[in-house]
């Protein structure tokens, strides 16, 4: 079975042009089949604030009203996605930028039935990801670059957590490829002490997750990240790593960052 590496990039790596340039060079150098998934929350938040629209977050997840949906669509599917694709092309990586609506690659369902009204937020299920479309793009030698905008199949765009997209794509593609999932951000991994960059937790088992949330080691945006990481492992993804973007080569081989275990 061929190998596939799915990289999710986020945090202030996207906000910093120098860091992003270096990451995309490392990403281009990775051998084999690969897919890049990105968010861009900080840029979306800054644009919202400049327009007088308050950004609302709950446990690391964005509340998406109609005005916010317009902003994140412009930022994620437009500005950030096409900027990344253009840079990858310049580095010799034949990338293709996609939202979930393009090629019907990711179909979501609007979140309902929760105590909190998340607005135009899309949830995914096992049938959400088109492995046919992604598989065809990979076989054509293209590198899919997926943003955090999905659709419901009835003309409505939805905002879906990029960590969730990366996990769902990894699970779906594991039926075709020996798939590993790598979450890249600005920290060296999951830190025991947020103020100590060297306090990396090298391995986390699924049954340790609740305890890490309870003692505050895992909080905010790390909660959905680890939740999705363990979901991916449980559903057949070969390996999941979390760590610093500028150590991508070591991270993708398991020699750096935090590794998720069953």
Known binding residues for substrate: 40-41, 62, 159
Q: Report the candidate in 19, 26, 49, 22 with the shortest Cα–Cα distance to residue 7.
A: 26
Give the number of other Cβ atoms within 10 Å of residue 137's Cβ: 19
**CA distance linking residue 68 with residue 66, whole number of Å:** 5
Mark the binding-site residues, compressed into ranges.
Answer: 40-41, 62, 159
Q: Report the candidate in 43, 50, 51 with the shortest Cα–Cα distance to residue 12.
A: 43
Residue with tokens 């991270």: 251
Q: List the beta bridge partners of residue 96.
A: 144
**CA distance linking residue 138 with residue 153, whole number of Å:** 23
Q: Report the candidate in 215, 196, 192 with the shortest Cα–Cα distance to residue 204.
A: 192
Structure tokens given for 211? 């305890």
Tell me the torsion sign for CA atoms 234, 235, 237, 242: negative
Alpha-carbon Rg of the chain, whole angstroms? 17
């Amino acid at each position: 079975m061929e190998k596939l590496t799915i990289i999710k990039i986020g945090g202030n790596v996207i906000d910093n042009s120098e860091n992003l340039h270096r990451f995309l060079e490392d990403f281009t150098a990775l051998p084999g089949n690969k897919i890049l998934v990105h968010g861009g929350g900080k840029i979306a938040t800054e644009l919202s604030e400049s327009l007088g629209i308050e950004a609302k977050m709950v446990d690391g997840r964005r509340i998406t009203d109609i005005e916010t949906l317009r902003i994140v669509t412009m930022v994620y599917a437009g500005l950030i996605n096409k900027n990344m694709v253009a840079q990858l092309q310049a580095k010799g990586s034949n990338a293709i930028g996609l939202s979930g609506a393009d090629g019907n690659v990711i179909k979501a369902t609007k979140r309902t039935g929760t105590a909190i009204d998340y607005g135009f937020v899309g949830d995914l299920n096992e049938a959400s990801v088109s492995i046919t479309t992604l598989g065809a793009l990979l076989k054509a030698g293209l590198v899919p670059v997926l943003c955090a905008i999905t659709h419901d199949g009835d003309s409505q765009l939805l905002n879906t957590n990029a960590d969730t997209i990366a996990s769902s794509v990894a699970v779906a593609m594991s039926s075709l490829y020996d798939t590993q999932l790598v979450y890249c951000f600005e920290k060296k991994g999951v830190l025991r002490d947020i103020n100590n960059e060297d306090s990396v937790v090298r391995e986390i088992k699924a049954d340790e997750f609740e305890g890490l949330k309870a003692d505050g080691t895992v909080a905010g945006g790390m909660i959905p990240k680890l939740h999705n990481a363990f979901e991916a492992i449980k559903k057949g993804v070969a390996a999941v790593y979390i760590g610093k973007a500028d150590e991508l080569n070591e991270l993708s081989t398991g020699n750096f960052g935090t590794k998720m275990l069953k």
